[in-house]
Amino acid sequence: MITLETFVASLDRLGINKNSRVLIAVSGGVDSMSLMHLFHAANIPSAVAHCNFNLRGNDSDADEKLVKDTAERLALEFNRKGFQTDSFAKDNGVSIQMAARKLRYDWFHELSKAHQYDFIATAHHADDQVETILLNLTKGTGIAGMHGIAESAGKIIRPLIHLSRKEIIHFAQEQRIAWREDASNHESDYERNFIRNEVIPMLRSINPSVTDAIIKHSTIMARYENLLDHFIHEVENQICRFEQMGVFKTIDIEKLTSYPEPATILFHLVRNIGMTYQQCENAIKPGVTSGAVFESGTWNMIKDRNQLVVFDKETINDEEEAEITFQDGNASVLFGSFNSSIVEKIDEADFHNPAVAYLDASKIQWPISIRRLKTGDRFHPLGMKQSKLISDFLIDNKIGTPRKMATYILFSDGNPIWIAPLRIDDRFKIDENTRSIIRLSFTSP
């Protein structure tokens, strides 16, 4: 049952008080109209946002008029925006429902930012929760989809999420709140409507309290997910390494597969970048060759010997370039920085440091350019008179994907002088004729 006291208690739980500024999403239906009246009665500083999706002709305009008139009567600021939802859906290859969702939430966040609202309130209720859980079940979303709609997510709050539509209608009738019914809600053309109109009534024939049972189930699933998240975090600390300022991470396959259900653990580690459960299963199957690539949008997950390397292709740009302009100069790159200086002799402390190179300064032409490896790049490894493909050199020296990502080639007048931080080119080494020495160093963060 809804009372002002129970509503205020739900706001307290969500961290909302009389100093909060709330933007209320109001469609004109019974749930959102009731939410608007409750915020007004609670004396919370609020404004109304109404979307006209232009999908129902005169009915859409009538919805807007009701919301506008009511907001003005309650002395609430009224914001509206019209959308060409049909065109947006076709242009973006999404359903009408998905198009409407994106359009409204993008606009809500724009309004919130422009007018500094602390929260965006929507009128989702327990029946919406049940529909969402059943819809997620048909799509195999796993445990994350079983707790349905969260009471809060960032700025979004849903104060009515624990109340049934029946309770909300009773409240609206009791308070004489006007609302409008969307006739399309009674049609079963959309997935959600089909679940609402066809599936749930059938489930009620099995269990009249099915709504309560599903809500209870969702609460239990949310607690299980909290427990699982804690476990996954502990496992992540054991099997993952976050490399180079967190630009990419490596996952130890042997350690991963020592746990039960390793594909499930991997899925929880990479689902936020769009990797599927099937990709996770395939990535750790015995016999998967090193170099196998699994893609999701801009993200790659690469099998590299006994590890998986996860990185964003847009962050790690193969076209990255830099240059050192002067003899005493420096240059910054994604994975660190280079420094050059003229020195009189080699420091013994650098003898076994691959991140430092000493070259004959007379053989260097400035500026020194820096870039990543490209197909066909060759150099003369120190000690060899013949050229070698740099890619072959990396393979021969068992340089895996993580180190390849942080490997740069330094050039003088188009000739490679140093594969940093690995090996210099033999043609630029110090010899008995050297009169001036340049010291190059690479520092990773």
CA torsion through residues 149, 82, 184, 1, sign: positive
Give the per-residue pLDDT at 290.
85
Q: Do the domain assignments include residue 263?
A: yes
Same domain membership, residue 381 and residue 362: yes
Number of H helices, E strands in the chain: 16, 22
Same domain membership, residue 32 and residue 177: yes
Give the per-residue pLDDT at 186.
65
Same domain membership, residue 94 and residue 193: yes
What pLDDT digit, counting tens, does each position of 263-285 carry? 999 999 998 899 999 999 999 99
Same domain membership, residue 253 and residue 131: no
Q: Do the domain assignments include residue 231?
A: no
Nearest to 370 by CA among 440, 434, 445: 440
List of residues 6+ apart from 167 with CB closer than 8 A: 1, 2
The two structure tokens encoding residue 403: 């180190």
Q: Which domain holds residue 180?
A: 4-218
pLDDT more than 90, % of the chain: 70
Confidence of residue 97 (pLDDT cuts 50, 70, 90): confident
414: Cα separation from own chain's centroid: 40
Instruction: Quote the number of domains for the chain.
Output: 3
Mean pLDDT of 92-115: 93
Q: Do the domain assignments include residue 78?
A: yes
Mean pLDDT of 405-434: 93
Mean pLDDT of 5-13: 94
Mean pLDDT of 318-346: 88
Give the per-residue pLDDT at 143.
83
List of residues 6+ apart from 52 with CB closer than 8 A: 60, 61, 63, 64, 80, 81, 82, 83
Give 119's strand partners: 22
Q: Do the domain assignments include residue 225?
A: no
Same domain membership, residue 360 and residue 308: no
Neighbouring CB atoms inside 10 A of 76's CB total 19
Element (H, E) at 390: helix 390-396
Mean pLDDT of 133-154: 86
Same domain membership, residue 140 and residue 179: yes
Is residue 335's pLDDT more than 70? Answer: yes
pLDDT more than 70, % of the chain: 97
Confidence of residue 248 (pLDDT cuts 50, 70, 90): confident
Confidence of residue 445 (pLDDT cuts 50, 70, 90): low
